[in-house]
Amino acid sequence: MTAIDMPAPRAKSRFWRKFRRNRAALVGGVIVAFFVLLAVAAPILPIADPLATSWTAIRLAPSAEYWLGSDEIGRDILSRMIWGAQASLMAGVISVAIAVVTGVPIGLIAGYFGGWTDTIISRFTDALLAMPFLIMAIALAAFLGPSLTNAMIAIGLSAMPIFIRLTRAQVMSVKTEDYVEGARAIGLGHMAIMGRYILPNITPPIIVQATLTIATAIIAEASLSFLGLGQQAPAPSWGSMLNVAKNFLTQAPWMAWWPGAAIFLVVIGFNLIGDALRDALDPREH
């Protein structure tokens, strides 16, 4: 995950035009839209109860009745996959929202005020970045207790320093622009300058980073659930489904195929959109 150069305001229309023309973005958009639709429509789709067990349908291979097969206690894998999409997408979006809501204001303050404030925040950010993302998330989830909510908080807090650093760097390059100096000259307060003049101009690279971080967060949630630190049984999540599936590789390999393929597809979707957004912002590509 790298910092991205911000376009000048007049380049914004060119940015969006370039983004819309990118075929990879379209593919990514279709994949993500498909999974979002499935997740949202889960309650109204004519599928089995994801928690309903059946002792006559234990580890059945994919068939006309069970399209993706059934699991070790006879639950319908298709239904659990669709409901699991809710957990994965929600975890991706909410944990990134936590990272953005906490990281952007801190980065804004560090970049705008500079001096000691910046030094202290930067050292704090360096320290957080020294702890690898997943290890930090595992440690936080361990201390907070295993649950999907705590996993989202852990992932969000672990991703926060990326946004602090990115926002700080963007603010540093924007705060010397003429329009910011102008706003200062007419006597606007710090909050007004940051909110009305700086923040809108640093939003595009933050959106790019957020898109790429959603992909990372979805894998992180699946990893935590795989380790038993995320979504708890019997609620479905792709990571926890894989955790169970690894114990039945020889008897029911299909239990491992679908959740992994779904994580792979949705992550590639977000990565394609993020890459296309980044390319559209890259001045070398114009």
Partner 1 sequence: MLIYIAKRLLVALPTLLIVSMLVFGLQMLLPGDPVLAMAGEDRDPETLARIRAQLNLDDPVPVQYLRWLGGVVQGDFGTSLRTGQPVSELILQKLPVTIQLAVMAMIFAALIGIPAGIIAAVRKGGVLDWTANIVALSGLSIPNFWLGIMLILLVSVNLGWLPASGYESIFVDPVRSLETMIMPAFVLGTGLAATLMRHTRSSMLGVLSADYIRTARAKGLTGRQVVLKHSFRNALLPVITLSALLFGELLAGAVLTEQIFTIPGFGKLIVDAVFNRDYAVVQGVVLCTAVGFLLMNLIADVVSVLLNPRMRAAL
Site residues, partner 1 (CB under 8 A) = 123-124, 126-128, 130-136, 138-145, 215, 219, 222-223, 226-229, 242, 245-246, 249-250, 253, 256, 259-260, 263-264, 267-268, 271-272, 275
Collapsed DSSP state (helix, strand, coil) of residue 122: helix
Closest CB 173 distance from partner 1, rounded Å? 21
Distance CA 206, CA 230 (A): 27
- For residues 117-142, one letter each, b for 16 or more C-beta atoms within 10 angstroms of the residue's C-beta and e for the rest, the string is ebeebbeebeebeeeebbebbbebbe
**9 vs 253 by CB, closer to partner 1:** 253
**97 vs 144 by CB, closer to partner 1:** 144
**125 vs 201 by CB, closer to partner 1:** 125
Closest CB 17 distance from partner 1, rounded Å? 21
Closest CB 153 distance from partner 1, rounded Å? 10
Distance CA 30, CA 11 (A): 26
Distance CA 274, CA 14 (A): 17
**207 vs 256 by CB, closer to partner 1:** 256
Closest CB 128 distance from partner 1, rounded Å? 7
Distance CA 74, CA 59 (A): 6
**48 vs 134 by CB, closer to partner 1:** 134
Closest CB 33 distance from partner 1, rounded Å? 17
Distance CA 227, CA 239 (A): 8
The separation between CA 72 and the C-alpha centre of its own chain, rounded to angstroms, equals 30
